[in-house]
Amino acid sequence: MQIKVPLTAAGFLADRYSKHAPLSAQYQGYPIISPPISLDDIPATTKSLALTLLDYDAVPVGGFVWIHWLAANISPDITEIPEDSSQHPQFDFIQGRNSNAGQLIHQTDPTIYQHYVGPQPPDQTHQYQLTVYALKQPLALKSGFWFNEFHQAIDQQIITTATFLLPGRA
């Protein structure tokens, strides 16, 4: 399985999807337009897809991996996830809570905490890890699931994964 997200000529995630987004691509100061994602070579036995977008470079800054986006129960027939699919889905799937929902930030607006929120590295360029999971079946999760629930649900369900690093500039 392969994942592709368009990057700029300099090799970064486009500003539109990060803290450098124009105001029209932000909501309450958060970049909320998710990037387009292309998927290739999805195994024939796949019954469902899921994705995570994580910032492991956030650990030295905040002490934990920052969750930017969780999505599950995407049809394996989907090979193109269009731009802004998090806020304006063009197909059915469910989304989990990102790190803005936790006790540290405790954002109360689901537009922010239960959708894509783009990179906002405070200190330097971060590598954002987009992972897509090909699964044996749809996950028994409800919209608004937590990351730990996701990991429990995918146990024994993973056929394969693919990862794509998205450099986000500070």
CATH number of the domain encompassing residue 73: 3.90.280.10
Residue 140's domain comprises: 2-168
- Burial (CB count <10 Å: 0-12, 13-18, 19+), residue 104: exposed
Q: What is the pLDDT of residues 136-153, one digit of tens each?
A: 999 999 999 999 999 999
Three-class SS state of 166: strand
Q: What pTM does this model have?
A: 0.96
Number of domains in the chain: 1
Residue 114, token pair as written in the block: 């239960």
Specify whether the CB–CB gap between 133 and 50 falls below 8 A: yes
Q: What is the pLDDT of residues 88-126, one digit of tens each?
A: 999 999 999 999 997 778 789 999 999 999 999 998 999
